[in-house]
Structure 1
Amino acid sequence: MPYHEFECSKCIPERKKHAVIKGHGEDLTDALPLGYLNTIPGTISERGCAYCGAKHVIGTPMKDVIHLSHGPVGCTYDTWQTKRYISDNDNFQLKYTYASDMKEKHIIFGAEKLLKQNIVEAFKAFPKIKRMTIYQTCASALIGDDLNAIAEEVMEEMPEVDIFVCNSPGFGGPSQSGGHHKINIAWIKQKVGTVEPKITSDYVINYVGEYNIQGDQEVMMDYFKRMGIQVLSTFTGNGSYDDLRSMQGAHLNVLECARSAEYICNELRVKYGTPRLDIDGFGFEALSNSLRKIGLFFGIEDRAQAIIDEETAKWKPELDWYKERLKGKKVCLWPGGSKLWHWAHAIHEEMGVEVVSVYTKFGHQGDMEKGISRCEEGALAIDDPNELEGLEAMEMLKPDIIFTGKRPGEVAKKIRVPYLNAHAYHNGPWKGFEGWVRFARDIYNAIYSPVHQLALMDITKDEIPDNGFQTQNLLSDKNLSEEATFSTILREYSGKYDCLADIRKKEYPEMVLTKKLNAV
C-alpha cells in the first residue's frame, strides 16, 4: 500500500493511512486511503459538521423559506451567505438568517418556549413567507428540546403556515455528509406526497442534487426546456418548498450530486417506483452523454443531440484555445465531495491540466475511488487533510493552481499559489457548455494574472519595476506599441469584453504574452 506520511503528522501515526500516492499499475485496492471516518483527535480537522451539511448545503438553497436554527447564534452565522445559492425571489434565502439564540440559561432550563416565540416572530416579520425549516444544533439536541412538537403546535395555531423540522445536530455524523443524509430522509418522510403536482408535459423530472451555484441550475434548465422536459422540482437550488412536496409526481429523478442527494433518490425509487438517472453537467463529453441518457429514457434522443451539436459547435473552439495554453499546468483538485470525480478526468482531457492531487473533507470511499481512478499516476490522494498537511502537499507538489474552498484557498495565496473557489466559483456558472469554457477562462486568468506574477517577487531582493503592469517587450502585435500597458488595453476594450483573456483572443491573436509569462 503506497501510503504517504506527512512530516507534520508523524506525531499522529494513524494519519498515515489517510493519504496515498498512486503508483504505476496500481488499482484501487492498492491506492485507496481510509475515508469517511471520525476525525482523529489532534489533527485539527477543517471539516464541516452534520448540522452544516443539512442547513448550509441542502436546506438553505430553498428560496421561499425561513431557515431558522435552534441553537447558539454562532451556528447560524457560520452557515450564512458563504455560498452563492442564487434564486429568482430576490435571493430572500441569502439575505436573511434566523436563530433562536440559545444562551447558557436555556441549556439549563430548556428552550422550547424560546423556539416557539422565535417561530411566531419570524412569520410576523415576513408575512408573505408561509414556510419554514427548523434546524437542530448540538445545544438543542443535547438538552432534548422537542422541535417536532413545537412545530406541530405552531401549525395548529397558524394553519396557513407549514414547517419542516430537520433533526441534524453537529455531532450527527463524521462530517457534513451525515447531515446530507439526515435532511434527505427527513424530507421524504415528512413532506413528499403532501402536495399534488401540476403536470404540463409528457416528460417530467425532478432535478436532484443541484444547488444553483451562481446560476448553474438555470443553464441546465435551459437544456431541459429545449428538450420539452418539465422540471417538477429542484432539490434544492432555487427550489420552492411546495414544489418539493410534490416530488412523487415525476417520471424520472435526474441526479447531479450523488454525494449529497442520492439518498432521497433511492427512497423515492423504493416508495414511489421513480427511477434514478445519474448525470454530470461538467465537461463537454460528460454533459453530452448525460443529455443523451435523458433523451434515451424519454425517447427524444434527437432533441438532445440537436442541443449537443449546436452548443459544441459554438463553444468548442473557445475551449480549445484555453486548452492549448493550460496544457501541462499542475492542479491540486481539493473541492470536497463529488467534484473530486466530476472534474478529475474532464479537466485533464478537455483542458490539458495535470491533476497532481485530490482530496476530500467529507466524501465517502466511493468518491475517493472514482476520483483516484480518474487521476494520473503519481497523484497524491488525501482524506480529511488539515491546514499543515495542505501546506506540506503544496510545497512538495508545487502546483500552478488549486481548486478548493475559501479557507484553504486563502492559505494557498499566502505561499503564492493561486486558487479558484471550487465551492462557490469565482465567475460562474461553470456548468453547461458555455460554463465549462468560463471555468477554463477563470483557470487561465488565475494562472496568468499579471498581479499574481508580481506576487511571486521577493520585495527584499528583487528589483520592483516602476511601470506597473506595463507590457513592454511582451507584445508583438503590430497594432500595439511597445509602451502599451494592460490598463490601456482594458480601458479601450472594457465595453466589449469581460476579461483580458477575451481581449487577447479576439483582438490580438498573435500576442506572445502567454509564452513570456510561462517563462517567468
Structure 2
Amino acid sequence: MPYHEFECSKCIPERKQHAVIKGPGEQLTDALPQGYLNTIPGTISERGCAYCGAKHVIGTPMKDVIHLSHGPVGCTYDTWQTKRYLSDNDNFQLKYTFASDMKEKHVVFGAEGMLKQNIIEAFKAFPHIKRMTIYQTCATALIGDDLHAVAQEVMDELPDVDIFVCNSPGFRGPSQSGGHHTICIAWFKEKVGTFEPVREGEYIINYVGEYNIQGDQYIMEDFFERMGITVNSTFTGNGSYDDLRAMHRAHLNVLECARSSEYLCNELRVKYGIPRLDIDGFGFKPLGDSLKKVALFFGIEDRAQKIIDEETARWQPELDWYKARLQDKKVCLWPGGSKLWHWAHCIHEEMGVKVVSVYTKFGHQGDMEKGIARVEEGALAIDDPNELEGLEAMETLQPDIIFTGKRPGEVAKKIRVPYLNAHGYHNGPWKGWEGWVRFARDIYNAIYSPMHKLSKLDISKDEIPTTIGFETQRMLSDVNLSDEIKNNKELREYTGKWDCTRDLIKKPAPRSDEPQLAIAA
C-alpha cells in the first residue's frame, strides 16, 4: 500500500491512512489518502471550523454589509480579515468587525434581546450601510437563540434594511468546508431571486468562488470586460449584497473555487437553468484556456484569443527569466483548498519548480484526486496534517520553499524554510499574466533572499565572546550557589545539567546599603 506513516504519529495508527506517497504507475484509487473525515482525537488538528468557513472565507468579502457574529467575541476576532479581501468601497468589510459579545449570563438566560439591540446599534452607527449578515456560533446554536426571528423583527421595524442569517456553528461539519456548504445553500434559499437588477449586456455572468484577494477579482473582471462580458455579481469578493440577490438573472455561472462554491452553482443550475463552467485564473495556459472556454460559450473566441496573444507576448519573457532560475527548486504545496490542484501542474510546467508534497486541511476526495493527478511521482500527499507532521515532512523532503497559510508558514521559518502566504499572498494579485509573473518573482525573492541565507548561519560558537564588557556578566561574575541548592541533592543534579539554569538561580552578594532578603532557590 502507498500509505505513509509519520514517526511522530505512530501512537495514532489511524493517521497512517491520511498520507500517501505517489508511486510509479499507481492509479488514483491506489494513491488517495482518506479525507474530509472527523478529526481524530489527539492529533491536534489545525483545521478551521464551519463558522470560520462561512464567515471568514465566503461571507465577509461582501463589501457593503455589516457582518455580525452572534457569540463570544473571540470567534469574531479570530475571523477578522487577514486575507486582504479588497473592495472598492474603502474596504469597509476589512476595517470593521461586529460581535454581540456573548457572556456567561447570556448562555443561561438567552441572548436574543441583546442581539436585537446590537443590530439596531450597528445600523445607527453606520447609517449608509443597509445590509447585514448574522453568523451563528457554537454557543448561540447550543442555547437555541432564534436568529431568524430576531432578524425579521428588526426588518419589520426598519423596512429599508435587509438581513441574511447564516446558521453556521463551528461544530457543523468536519472542517470549514461544512461552513462553505451551509452559507451557499442558505444564500440560495433565502436571498437569490429577491432582487431584480437593472442590467444591460449581451453576455452576463456570475463570477462565483472569487474572493478578490489583493485584487484578483479586478484582474479577471478586466478580462471579461475586454471580451464584452458583463459581470452580474461576484460571489463574494468585492461583491454587493443586492447584486448577489440577483444571481438568477445571469446567463452563465463562471466558477473559480469549486471547493467553496460549487454548491451554489449546482442549485442555480437546477432551479434557474443557468449553466456552470469551471475556470482557472492562475498560470498562462490554464488562464488562457479558461477565457477561451467562456468565450466559446458565447461564440466570441476571437476576443479571448486577442487577449491571450497580447498578454503572453508582454509577459512571457519575464516568466522565462524566473523559470530559468527556479528550475528544479522543491516546493511543498500546502495551500488548503482548491489551489492544491489549481497550482500543482502549472507551477511545475511554467516555473520549473518541483512539487514534492501537497496537502489539504479541509479539502474533499475530489481535491486530492485532482491534486495528486497533477504532481510527479514521489510526491507526499497529506490530509489534515498537524504541526509535528508538517515539521517531519519538511525535515524529510528538504524543500526550498513552501506555499501555505500563516500558521504553518511561521513554523517553517523556525527551521529556516521560506514560505509564501498561499491564502493572503505576499505581493499580489497573483491572477492574470502579470500576476503569475508577480508570483514567480515572490518565489524567487523568497528562495534567493540574502536575509534568508543569513538565517542559516550559526554564530553561537563565534570566536569572539559576546559577553565581554556587558554589565550582566560583571554582576554574575562573583556569585555563589545558595545554601538551599548545596543541601538539595536533586536540585543540585538538575542544575548541573543546565548551565543557564544554574546561572539564573545564583544570587549576587548583597550590597551593604540594601536590605537582606531571603531568596528562594
Please report the TM-score for the alignment, with normalisation by the length of structure 2. Answer: 0.88
Distance 1:426 1:458 in 2: 28
Shift of 1:458: 1.0
Task: Say which is worse superposed, 155-164 or 1-10, in terms of deviation.
Answer: 1-10
Distance 1:462 1:388 in 2: 31
Distance 1:339 1:369 in 2: 13
Distance 1:132 1:164 in 2: 6
Distance 1:75 1:463 in 2: 50
Distance 2:330 2:457 in 1: 20
Shift of 1:171: 0.3
Tell me what 1:237 maps to: 237
- Aligned amino acid, residue 84 of structure 1: R
Distance 2:201 2:116 in 1: 42
Tell me what 2:305 maps to: 305
Tell me what 2:276 maps to: 276
1:403-454 superposed Cα distances (whole Å, 9 cap, x missing partner): 0000000000000000000000000000000000000000000000000010
Classify the secondary structure of the residue corresponding to 1:75: helix
1:67-91 superposed Cα distances (whole Å, 9 cap, x missing partner): 0000000000000021100100000
Distance 2:459 2:56 in 1: 41
Tell me what 2:454 maps to: 454
Task: Say which is worse superposed, 455-464 or 334-343, in terms of deviation.
Answer: 455-464
Distance 1:25 1:189 in 2: 45
- Aligned amino acid, residue 15 of structure 1: R
Distance 2:162 2:199 in 1: 23
1:183-234 superposed Cα distances (whole Å, 9 cap, x missing partner): 0000010000011122211000000000000000000011000000000000
Q: Following superposition of structure 1 onto structure 2, how do residues 469-508 of structure 1 map, counting pairs within 5 Å?
A: none
Tell me what 1:59 maps to: 59
Shift of 1:28: 0.7
Tell me what 2:216 maps to: 216
What is the aligned-residue RMSD (CA, Å)? 0.8
Classify the secondary structure of the residue corresponding to 1:58: helix
Q: Following superposition of structure 1 onto structure 2, how do residues 54-453 of structure 1 map, counting pairs within 5 Å?
A: 54-453=54-453
Tell me what 2:511 maps to: none
Distance 1:170 1:19 in 2: 26
Shift of 1:320: 0.5
Shift of 1:459: 1.3
Classify the secondary structure of the residue corresponding to 2:30: coil
Find runs of 4+ consecutive structure 1 residues off by over 2 angstroms. 461-464
Tell me what 1:496 maps to: none
Distance 1:295 1:333 in 2: 31
Query: Aligned residues: percent identity?
Result: 85
Distance 2:88 2:96 in 1: 15
- Aligned amino acid, residue 62 of structure 1: M
Distance 2:2 2:397 in 1: 17
Classify the secondary structure of the residue corresponding to 1:428: coil
Aligned residues: 464
Shift of 1:280: 0.1
Shift of 1:461: 3.6
Distance 1:463 1:96 in 2: 53
Distance 2:22 2:306 in 1: 40
Distance 1:94 1:463 in 2: 50
Distance 1:151 1:90 in 2: 27
Distance 1:161 1:332 in 2: 46
Tell me what 2:495 maps to: none
Distance 1:71 1:267 in 2: 30
Classify the secondary structure of the residue corresponding to 2:29: coil
Shift of 1:463: 8.1
Classify the secondary structure of the residue corresponding to 2:427: coil
- Aligned amino acid, residue 104 of structure 1: E
Distance 1:182 1:81 in 2: 20
Tell me what 1:13 maps to: 13
- Cα 1:253–1:462 change in 2 (3 A) is farther
Name the larger-Rg structure: 2
Distance 1:358 1:302 in 2: 37
Task: Say which is worse superposed, 455-464 or 233-242, in terms of deviation.
Answer: 455-464
Tell me what 1:471 maps to: none
Distance 1:266 1:168 in 2: 20
Classify the secondary structure of the residue corresponding to 2:221: helix
Tell me what 1:515 maps to: none
- Cα 1:230–1:462 change in 2 (3 A) is farther
1:124-181 superposed Cα distances (whole Å, 9 cap, x missing partner): 0101100000000000000000000000000000000000000010000100000000
Distance 1:302 1:206 in 2: 22
Distance 2:289 2:106 in 1: 54
Distance 1:277 1:459 in 2: 56
Q: Which runs of 5+ in 1 are unaligned?
A: 465-520
Shift of 1:462: 6.4
Tell me what 1:38 maps to: 38
Distance 1:188 1:20 in 2: 37
Shift of 1:373: 0.5
Distance 2:109 2:165 in 1: 22
- Aligned amino acid, residue 86 of structure 1: L
Q: Which runs of 5+ in 2 are unaligned?
A: 465-521
- Aligned amino acid, residue 368 of structure 2: M
- Cα 1:83–1:463 change in 2 (3 A) is farther
- Aligned amino acid, residue 269 of structure 1: R
